[in-house]
Amino acid sequence: MFGRRNKSSVVKWGLIGSAIAGGIALIPLVPMLKKKAMRATTILKKDHRMVSGLIMTLEMTPKINGMVRRTLFNQMRQSLMIHAQVEEEIFYPAVRNLIFGGEGSKVDEAYREHQTLKDLLNQMAALDVVSDEFDGKLAELKQNIQHHVEVEENDMFSLVSERMSSERLEEIGQQMHDRKKNLKTQMAA
């Protein structure tokens, strides 16, 4: 009986020690993970997921909660407007520098899609968030965003990953991060 407890205790402390050692082994990777988190494509993907979550939350929020729906919409609108502006000012010009000939149409299409999204957001801002018309525009916005994200992440991000160095992606990511921070400060003022 005493031997089993001892063996159990040894196994338990062995597992704990292994977990600690594993954690310590990961410490040198932290700067690399931080750099990857600052890549332009990583930042944009994070924005895409956040907006998708806001849309889903807005769709699930009952119409009786008009104030909550308005708050969610305003948060989503601000996030999308900042995201679009940063892409248009920093990311798309960098992508355009990488492409040749007919591939430039991907960037042109992205600008047109952004304008469609902005127009929808402005139309929605004038609507009652508990109306059926608002929900219809939300469904249209969601569909447009899903298409935009799919093309951007599958086509544009692949192109960027093939033709741009990790260092350049991180540099652009830092510029985007700084610009987003600046825009948020301006909007809050």
Q: How far apart are CA 92 and CA 10, in angstroms?
A: 57
pTM here is 0.78
134, 120 contact by CB (below 8 A): no
Q: How far apart are CA 106 and CA 157, in angstroms?
A: 11
Q: ∠ at Cα 53 (45, 181), nearest 5°?
A: 55
120, 53 contact by CB (below 8 A): no
- The 10s digit of each residue's pLDDT in 88-140 is 999 999 998 887 666 668 899 999 999 999 999 999 999 999 999 999 999 99
What mean pLDDT comes out for the span 163-185?
A: 93
Give how far Cα 52 sits from Cα of 60, 63, 111, 142, Å. 12, 19, 20, 8
Lookup: tokens for 132: 């059926």
Higher local confidence (pLDDT), 23 or 73: 73
Chain-wide mean pLDDT for the chain? 86
Give residue 120's pLDDT.
Answer: 97
Torsion angle (degrees, nearest 10) of CA 142, 145, 151, 153 = -110
What residues contact residue 70 under an 8 Å CB cut-off, 6+ apart? Answer: 129
